[in-house]
């Protein structure tokens, strides 16, 4: 895993989607988590994406505990994510 290049324009060397996925999968290093936190403060799509993914995880956890998360609510959140992180 190469370290991020020390660029004068960090926004270009930083792959938002890739990093967000790593964070959410728990594959990011502590250093990467720190970088992402700093980045997230300035990058609304990352911030929103992170918040929404966490909301989904919470819902799924609740479902596992037997409380049940409405599937339409999960779909709604997923739709929001696809809107802010275009493929």
Binding residues for Zn ion (CB under 5 A): 16, 43, 46
The residue (of 46 and 59) whose beta carbon lies closer to Zn ion is 46
> Toward Zn ion, which CB reaches closer, 38 or 73?
38
Q: Which is nearer to Zn ion, 43 or 59 (CB)?
A: 43
CB of 50 to Zn ion, least distance (A): 9
Least distance in angstroms from the C-beta of 84 to Zn ion: 10
Distance CA 57, CA 59 (A): 5
**Nearest Cα residue to 84 out of 51, 48, 57:** 48
Cβ at position 45, least distance to Zn ion in Å = 6
d(CA 34, CA 55): 21
The secondary structure of 38-57, three-state, reads HHHCCCHHHHHHHHHHHHHH
């Amino acid at each position: 895993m190469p370290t991020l290049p020390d660029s004068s324009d960090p926004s270009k060397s930083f792959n938002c989607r890739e990093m967000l996925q790593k964070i959410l999968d728990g594959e990011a290093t502590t250093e990467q988590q720190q970088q992402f936190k700093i980045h997230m403060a300035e990058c609304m799509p990352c911030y929103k994406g992170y918040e929404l993914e966490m909301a989904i995880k919470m819902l799924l956890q609740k479902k596992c505990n037997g409380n049940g998360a409405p599937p339409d609510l999960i779909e709604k959140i997923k739709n929001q994510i696809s809107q802010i992180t275009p493929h």
